[in-house]
Amino acid sequence: MARPSKQKACLACTSSKRRCDKGTPSCTRCEDRDIDCRYPPAKRRRRDQQRPTIDAAASVEPTVITTSSTAAPAADLFALDAGALSFNLWNTTPWTDIPLLPSATNPQQRYTPPPPAENPLSRRRDIIEAVTRSTWFLTPSSWTISHRNTRVNDVYPARALTNFTRAMQSWILRWVTDGHNPFIHRGVYASPNPFPPLLQDALAMASLYHHSTPQNETIVQRVLDEKVSAMITSQTVNILETRDHLSRVQALLIYTVLLLFDGSVRHRAAAESHIPTLVLWSSQLWEAASSEAQSLRATFTPASTQCPVAVALSSGALVPEDADLAAWYLWIVSESVRRTWLAVMCTVDVYLALKGDQIPHHNPGCGGGVKFTARAGLWDAPSPARWSALYRKLEESDDVDGGAYFLQSFESDKLFVSAAAADVDEFARLLYTVVWGLDRVEGWALRTSASGEVCPTY
């Protein structure tokens, strides 16, 4: 009668103090966890113990163990990813200190070598390809300014125009309180990106303006006038990056809105004198952004050292999330340029219309258009991960990526038929009140309120 087996539990089960079924070549617990199952060497049998038959011995092929001088300690083997290993043909494996397996090992199994180390260049290429699939907003055609002939009898209802001015004023206050509004994105100037001094001053002055009282309004107005004049005179013709152009246009737009619609005749006159500078800077911003978009399209990373994504992609310190971060950052800068440009041109056109002046045909504001993203949710996404998740969801239905929601500012007629007002971004809804009229946008919002209630009036 054969003696009961005295095979001890495997090392992994012994170490974790778990029951071991002592299966070969691997116990059930190790097999379930896909870890290396090793048994302690059995005690040497006595000479009078029954030897295996010749047939049984012949069924086991000789096994050769190659010992390396740089063998890792036995404890380190449990930290290895053993998913790609098999427990046969050890003559081809580089691992060491692995005991002989029982004779029941399947000789038909083959050792699968571990995958080669990932090439950093290949990994960078994969991430770059992921980024370029998301850079539909950098294509040359997306930076074309389209013009629409303004008819002499075009009428701009005062209700829609005053609603626009109230919206711009409320958006500036929202930026002061929330650090974010429909044309200034929180991510563009978030740490570790620098916060431009021009915008720091504009933020402080906007906060001071909204907290002014009849007792201090004279001082506030004087400080505002001096800040605007100092900013304009301090600007040079040096080559600026797109972010520099963007920050100075946004700062001057904030001052212009505060002063232009303040109600003070003196402030209005001062702000009106700055309009040519505002339009010029906006044109320079657009030229710089469209030019830089060509290089971004070629390299997929911002040339500016102000962008942390550029450092990661150029240094090779990459993780898969870098693709989402890079695409998100490029998009918020690109979209900020588009929205700021539209906000400037529409502000100027609305002011001229309120004055009773005819809007110049050459002015590409509300009488012309540029592409921007009108889909709700993307601009207000709180993080790159949330933005990427929503983008991928919308990409499946062709809502973005040149689809239904990435369109010229005055070519929005189809959205009134195919989309709900709640699915359209707040910036787009306000823009459409000026382009198509407040009554039409209000009717659209009420007709599609089942998808969500929105109010286009301010």
Q: Show pLDDT as tens, one digit a residue, over the chain (458 residues).
A: 445 556 788 888 887 777 888 888 888 888 877 788 888 887 665 554 555 544 444 444 544 444 444 444 433 323 333 333 333 323 333 333 333 334 444 545 555 555 555 544 454 455 455 555 556 788 888 898 887 765 544 566 889 999 999 999 999 999 999 999 999 999 999 888 889 999 999 999 999 999 999 899 889 988 999 999 999 998 876 768 899 999 999 999 999 999 999 878 888 898 999 999 999 999 999 999 988 887 765 554 444 444 545 555 555 554 556 677 878 888 999 999 999 999 999 999 999 999 887 655 444 344 468 999 999 999 999 999 999 888 888 877 655 555 668 888 877 788 888 899 999 999 999 999 998 899 999 999 999 999 899 999 99
Q: Identify whether 305 is part of a domain.
A: yes
Pair 148, 111 in one domain = no
pLDDT score at 364: 39
Rounded to 5 degrees, what angle do the CA atoms 273, 276, 280 make?
150
Amino acid 236: pLDDT:
75
The structure tokens listed for 418 are 């195919």
Q: Which residues of 314-329 are buried (b: 16+ CB within 10 A; e: fewer)?
A: eeeebeeebbbbbbbb
* Domain with 74 in it: 23-47+63-115
Out of 115, 131, 146, a domain closes at: 115
Residues 6+ apart with CB under 8 A from 148: 367, 368, 369, 410
Q: Are residues 100 and 153 in the same domain?
A: no
Q: Give pLDDT, residue 391.
A: 84
Residue 141 resides in a domain: yes
Dump the DSSP string for 102-150. Answer: PTTS-TT----PPPPPPPHHHHHHHHHHHHHTT-GGGSGGGGPPEE-PP
Structural domain includes residue 212: yes
CA angle 295, 296, 298 (to 5 degrees): 65
Is 331 in the same domain as 363? yes
Q: Is position 57 within any domain?
A: no
Question: Taking a C-beta distance cutoff of 8 angstroms, is the pair 183, 403 a contact?
Answer: no
Q: Note whether 379 and 333 are same-domain residues.
A: yes
Which tokens in the block code for residue 276?
């040519």
Round to whole Å and give the CA distance between 246 and 128: 26
* Residue 291 is assigned to a structural domain of this protein: yes
Answer yes or no: do 309 and 205 share one domain.
Answer: yes
Domain for residue 10, yes or no? no
160 and 290 share one domain:
yes
Alpha-carbon gap, residue 133 to 327, rounded angstroms = 9
- Distance in angstroms (rounded) separating the CA atoms of residues 383 and 120: 26
pLDDT for 184 equals: 98
Same domain for 94 and 237: no
CA proximity to 454, closest of 429, 437, 417, 419: 429
Cα–Cα distance, 357 to 454 (Å, whole number): 32
Residues 88 and 65: beta-carbon distance below 8 Å:
no
The enclosing H or E element of 391 equals helix 384-396
The H-or-E segment that residue 371 falls in is strand 371-373
Residue 16 lies in a domain: no
Q: Are residues 294 and 271 in the same domain?
A: yes
**What is the C-alpha to C-alpha distance for residues 1 and 278, in angstroms, rounded to an integer?**
101
- Residue 2 falls inside a structural domain: no
pTM of the predicted model over 0.85: no
410 and 295 in one domain?
Answer: yes
- Both 31 and 171 in a single domain? no
Whether 109 and 129 share a structural domain: no
Residues 132 and 300 sit within 8 Å (Cβ to Cβ) = yes
Provide the 3-class DSSP secondary structure of residue 458.
coil
Round to whole Å and give the CA distance between 145 and 296. 19
| pLDDT for 126 | 53
| pLDDT value for 305 | 45
CA atoms within 13 A on the CB side of 33: 12
For the chain, report the end-to-end CA distance as a whole number of angstroms.
95
pLDDT score, position 58 = 46
Does 347 lie in the same domain as 230? yes
Q: How many domains, in total, are found in the chain?
A: 2
